[in-house]
Amino acid sequence: MSPRHFAGASLLVAALVGMVFLPSALAQGDDLKTAYAKYQKGRGMLGPWMAGTKDYEKGNKEHRDAVEGYTRFVVFGNTYRNRLVPKQDPTAEKLLTLADEITRDLEKGMIKAFEMPYGPDLLMAFEKSLLKSCKELLDGNTDQYTRLNGSRALPALGIGLGSRTKDNKAVLDLKGQMEVATGLTSLANDISAKAFAGNPRDDGAALYAMRGVKEMYRSLAATLPLRTDREKKAGPVSLPQDVEEKNLELLASFVLSPPAYLSGALPDEIQGYKLLRREAIRALAANGKTKLGKTSPALTLAKVLTRPRNQANLADSFRLDEQVDAAIGLAQIRLEKDFNSDLAASLVGQFLTEYLAQYGDRANAGEMKAFPFAYHAARLNTALSDWSAAPVPGVKLMAQKARACLSAMEKRDGTAQFQEAELIQTLRKDDQLIKGDAASKIEFPAN
């Protein structure tokens, strides 16, 4: 994974936002001239801070207010209904993709500020202000249009938590990072609990909330190994258990049990639900834990892999892309002592057997003709890299053999096959995914 840095957001937002927001009205009824003036002031001050030409001072109220005015306008920007609804307006299309472009910029960019002494303070102010604005908007609005577009900044918030310097050190201090992460998770839990129950339907906000926690889990996993023993001792090194456990419980339930509001839904609506469910699978995969409390991300992912795709209820069946993400997640579960990695490897191996077979037969597979097999093969190949060096012989062997086949598949070799039935069966000697936990028994579909 390449280092993630909080980068040039001010320049990007200035280019896309400054020219189109002025004629609009703030969703919250704020005075436009005042809000826009705060945004422009913040934009003007952030540029030199990010470039490293002027120092940010966390004790300076003017500096703090500048960051807050800037981030608030970024969050509320996508909620201008009267500007975004007309499809013929080219500026509307730019605004609708703004949050995604900011996210991409944060992932690939680098700014001088992170190499400066004030870098951690600036990033913390940015993260806290971004969270505050997201929470203000989402707590105070029931309009789905506003909630959908206002939540688009949540993934960027999660990515920012993983920011690193050029020499691969975490920018944020551990305490501050966990404070923001806890706030993000709590906000996501509130959104998800209501949306998953359909009270009210809030699919858009739920989508970005799940993407936010997915990026957060990835950020925490990437930066924790960079912490010194002294930092870890001072802690905390993880989210509050009740907050994280609630998040995992909500995600797992949504993945395994279709919500009641889908009763009588048309096929197109069910496909939309499956796209949303895939984000829940990805968030569970990013968490990487075998089990926390009563919820096991590992077991949930295993059930996604082993449930037959042909189900009487369309909403109960998992699509191939959902199972790809479950396989990736299962391959990246941390090798804890209670985790039956042999069984997990056998499940992933069985899935890959079927996956490569479908690739070879795709010309006769109807809708599978257009499935991006090679793209997902590359993702699966990367996910198996840790297993290919694992201290568990069977897991290591399975991963190495699978990666060779996936590499051929990446090159669109139609003859690539993974036929290791004997190895898969050998790895399946114990059917409990969590050792000593009878509830984690895997039920294998009949051949």
Q: What's the pLDDT tens digit per position in 54-91?
A: 999 999 999 999 999 888 877 876 676 554 344 444 44
Q: Do both 190 and 48 map to the same domain? A: yes
Please check whether residues 75 and 205 belong to one and the same domain: yes
80 with 186, same domain? yes
| Distance in angstroms (rounded) separating the CA atoms of residues 255 and 246 | 14
Q: Do 114 and 128 fall within a single domain? A: yes
Answer with the residue of higher pLDDT: 265 or 28: 265
Q: Which of 281, 306, 335 is the last residue of a domain?
A: 335
pLDDT band at 192 (very low <50, low <70, confident <90, very high): very high
- N-to-C CA span, the chain: 38
Structural domain includes residue 440 = no
Same domain, 261 and 147: no
317, 335, 353 — which closes off a domain? 335
pLDDT band at 128 (very low <50, low <70, confident <90, very high): very high
Q: Is residue 231 part of a domain?
A: no
CA–CA distance from 204 to each of 174, 210, 269 (Å)? 31, 10, 14
Q: Are residues 173 and 284 in the same domain?
A: no
Residues 176 and 54 in one domain: yes
- Evaluate if residue 409 carries a pLDDT over 70: yes
Q: Across residues 22-29, what is the average pLDDT?
A: 40
The per-residue pLDDT for range 369-391, each reduced to its tens digit, is 788 999 999 999 999 999 999 99
Is 347 inside a domain boundary? yes
270 and 347: one domain?
Answer: no
Give the pLDDT mean for 166-188: 96
- Which positions ≥6 away from 122 have C-beta within 8 Å? 49, 50, 56, 67, 113
Same domain for 312 and 349, yes or no, is: no
**Would 446 be classed as within a structural domain?**
no
Residue 438 lies inside a defined structural domain of this protein = no
Question: Which residues form the domain of 189?
Answer: 1-223
Average pLDDT for 323-347: 96
Q: Is 22 exposed, middle or buried (0-12, 13-18, 19+ CB in 10 A)?
A: exposed
Q: Considering only CA atoms, which of 174, 175, 160, 173 is closest in space to residue 219?
A: 160
- Same domain? For 50 and 159 the reply is yes
Q: Which pLDDT belongs to residue 158?
A: 95
Q: What is the pLDDT of residues 197-227, one digit of tens each?
A: 998 889 999 999 999 999 999 999 999 999 9
Name the domain boundary from 271, 300, 335: 335
The answer on 144 and 10 residing in a single domain is yes
User: In this structure, is residue 164 part of a structural domain?
Assistant: yes
In a domain, 441, yes or no: no
Candidates 62, 66, 34, 37; CA nearest to 50 is 66
User: Count of domains in the chain?
Assistant: 3
Residue 368 confidence (pLDDT) above 50: yes
Q: What is the pLDDT of residue 109?
A: 44
309 pLDDT band, cuts 50/70/90, is confident
- 46 and 89 share a domain? yes
Q: What average pLDDT does this structure show over 325-349?
A: 96
Checking if the pLDDT of 312 tops 90, the result is no
- Tell me if 439 is assigned to some domain: no
